[in-house]
Structure 1
């Protein structure tokens, strides 16, 4: 159906990758069908020196282990009962990642409504990191998969004309890191989580 992007795409510096992911298509194939959405919002986390990153200070745990490997792999974790999905970035041994914060639905919208509830507005299906994983059927068990092969992968999408940058969201207790302008979004897109 869609063609996964080559692994070489993930070998760019984390901040560049966070911008380059905008417009790409996140795809999840399940037994119930395939759902996908264009990425419209991301946040970069630059590992050891970034107080907001799970790998701050080179903290290596069972949860962060995949971030210490090569780029292009799936880092999922659960926060407040919501599964969140990140793209591992940076070279091996440099634990960095890009959080996918929001999608614009593309295919499998009926499936998204089944998973998120029939009363939701289209905009509310995927306009947040926990919402998009539920809508696509992404689970914590997807941890460690690659993004360049089914069933969970990133494909070419559409060009995003205007990209905005600003501070990341929900990281108030991270000192100066809460001010870093490492959140990127497609300007004017109604599926961005918040402005």
Structure 2
């Protein structure tokens, strides 16, 4: 079942933890469906979070999507080559989001493996730039409504997560004391987590 708006418009840390085990579904232009189970996420708490693109209320063309109410896709480029997929959270005007860092491939797994040209199965989607390539998420997916009417959405199939590991986020040393916040969450013992 597709996640409803109410799922996203809550406290960002709560949403981040509850995104674990949910499924991202992307319907590509040719009509083919690709999907994966979310196994790793990071929460970004907007205006008060030095690691967030919207820290200190930086409202730019890039961050504008973060100011929407929860349930929209925020896709951005890092290092000039990798797309990162986030979901907006909280209420309108509060620019918070959750970065999806790792997924376990489900529908079209074999095709993902082939397209990604990797040697190990875990390398298909164990990182934010890897999973967008695997699913076919691009900058054209930025700003999509994940709740209704788009070719990108999240589902709940009833999967129960047994144990969640909480730790610090990755690659945000510039965020000073906020780099130490335990706002990264992943499913214990899952092979598709980017870094244990």
Cα RMSD after superposing both structures: 1.1
Segment of structure 1 superposing worse, 23-32 or 71-80: 23-32
Residue number in structure 1 paired with 2:169: 168
Within 5 Å, give how 1:77-156 maps onto structure 2: 77-80=76-79, 81-117=81-117, 119-149=118-148, 150-156=150-156
Distance, in Å, in 2 between the alignment partners of 1:68 and 1:88 is: 8
Distance, in Å, in 1 between the alignment partners of 2:144 and 2:71 is: 9
Distance, in Å, in 2 between the alignment partners of 1:185 and 1:113 is: 22
Q: Which ranges in structure 2 are unaligned for 5 or more consecutive residues?
A: none
Residue number in structure 2 paired with 1:4: 2
Distance, in Å, in 2 between the alignment partners of 1:180 and 1:58 is: 20
SS of the residue corresponding to residue 177 of structure 1 reads helix
Distance, in Å, in 1 between the alignment partners of 2:138 and 2:107 is: 19
How many residues matched? 192
SS of the residue corresponding to residue 8 of structure 2 reads helix
Deviation at 1:87, TM superposition (A): 0.4
For residues 88-134 of structure 1, give each alpha carbon's deviation from its aligned partner in whole angstroms, at most 9, with x where no partner exists. Answer: 012111100000000011111122124311x4311110100000000
Deviation at 1:146, TM superposition (A): 1.1
When normalised by structure 2's length, the TM-score is 0.95
Within 5 Å, give how 1:172-191 maps onto structure 2: 172-191=173-192
Moved over 4 A (4+): none
Distance, in Å, in 2 between the alignment partners of 1:146 and 1:164 is: 29
Within 5 Å, give how 1:36-115 maps onto structure 2: 36-80=35-79, 81-115=81-115
Residues 166 and 183, structure 2, Cα contact 8 Å, conserved in 1: yes
SS of the residue corresponding to residue 173 of structure 1 reads helix
Distance, in Å, in 2 between the alignment partners of 1:27 and 1:111 is: 15
Residues 10 and 91, structure 2, Cα contact 8 Å, conserved in 1: no
For residues 42-95 of structure 1, give each alpha carbon's deviation from its aligned partner in whole angstroms, at most 9, with x where no partner exists. Answer: 000000110000000000001000111111000000001000000001211110
Deviation at 1:32, TM superposition (A): 5.8
Residues 52 and 178, structure 1, Cα contact 8 Å, conserved in 2: yes
Distance, in Å, in 2 between the alignment partners of 1:9 and 1:115 is: 32
